[in-house]
Amino acid sequence: MQKDPIQEHIDSILSQCDYGVQRANVATQCKNFLQQYPQFEMTANQFTYAGMSGGTPLVYLKGAMILTIDNTQHEVPMHFVLPSGFPSIAPKAFLTNQVDEEIIKDNPYVLKNMEILNQYMNNWKSNHPSYTLNITYYYIYQSFMLCPPLNSSITHANSNLEEEKKVEEPPRQHQANGGDGEEGDKEFKKILLLSKIQEKIDKMSKLVKKFSVISVTLSQNADIIAAASDKVCTKNALLESWINIDLDELSQFIENNQGKDINDIDEIVKPEDDVSKSMLELLADETACEEAMEVVRSKFRKKKITIDEYLESVRTLANHQFMSMSKRRKIMSTVSALKR
């Protein structure tokens, strides 16, 4: 079987480098890149750039970025360096000193040391299918085409740098420069589609996390919410119809008893039926127990009763209060079910 010359060359270069368990991934990305952009040459060299070790040789892809403007091709000499952690970390891209100064003087993506750095490379995600050498080259291409002076020669020159964030199909002319024809074009579209799908998955994951946090918060505060809801329901029920107050009779009672002590509140508040009467009595029991417990606490704080007396009293009152509340809630649920 005839061996692939590109693959043989890549294997020969990688034998001089140390990419560890990522060697196969590096080989695949390099092969795809060289097939798509044959104007680049792959070698192994040592580097002293910031953040790179100068010991073990690294993959060096030297070539030129081909910019097509008004049917005229412009070559921008550049090279890629693959750090020892690639593809878990982003590749490095540099222009050579032979590049035309006019092309880069207003380009914010070219640093003083001629390194090219854009948002795509800053946001590099480890082993992500949409973060590859091919797409890195495309974004660099786009950043140059959208910056002065090149963008002044492009139709719709008012396109701003925010367009760099959009993942879209590269220009046909740019694809043609790559050299792998229709097959390479399909592969590139596939990678871009995966990128869009992954972005949507990431957004959905963030939403799921938010909903999970909300769900946990609601679960943790379920008792508080239930208690608040219970109070509201009780209040509404009492206000709506379960207690009937004759306003004329109330006015007359107040007028007749002004300045006097009221001995029996039941003379004013008259339950509409037996259910309302039970509800009112149970609610009164709950409130009375709460007030009684507060009195017991006050006496204990003032050391008027012992700890044993305090605990026994609170336990008895709390038990009575709980039973009253349970009965009242059961009545409420039954009445609510009958009203549906």
Which tens digit of pLDDT belongs to each residue from 194-215?
666 766 777 787 788 787 778 7
**Where in the chain do CATH 3.10.110.10 domains reside?**
5-212
* Residues in contact with 40: Cβ distance below 8 Å, sequence separation at least 6, in sequence order: 33, 34, 61, 62, 63, 80
Strands (E), 245-337: 270-271
Q: Using a cut of 0.75, tell me whether the model's pTM lies above it.
A: no
Task: Name the fold adopted by 5-212.
Answer: Ubiquitin Conjugating Enzyme (3.10.110)
Most confident by average pLDDT, 6-20, 185-199, 270-284: 6-20
Long-range contacts of residues 224-229, Cβ cutoff 8 Å, at least 24 apart: none
What confidence tens digit (pLDDT) does each residue in 23-53 have?
Answer: 999 999 999 999 988 989 999 887 765 555 5
Find where tokens 């100064």 sit. Answer: 101
Highest mean pLDDT among 18-22, 184-188, 216-220: 18-22
**Rounded mean pLDDT, 57-66:** 89
**Tokens 């004759």 map to which residue?**
246
State how far the Cα of 40 lies from the Cα of 26, in Å rounded to an integer: 16
Start-to-end CA distance of the chain, whole Å, equals 80
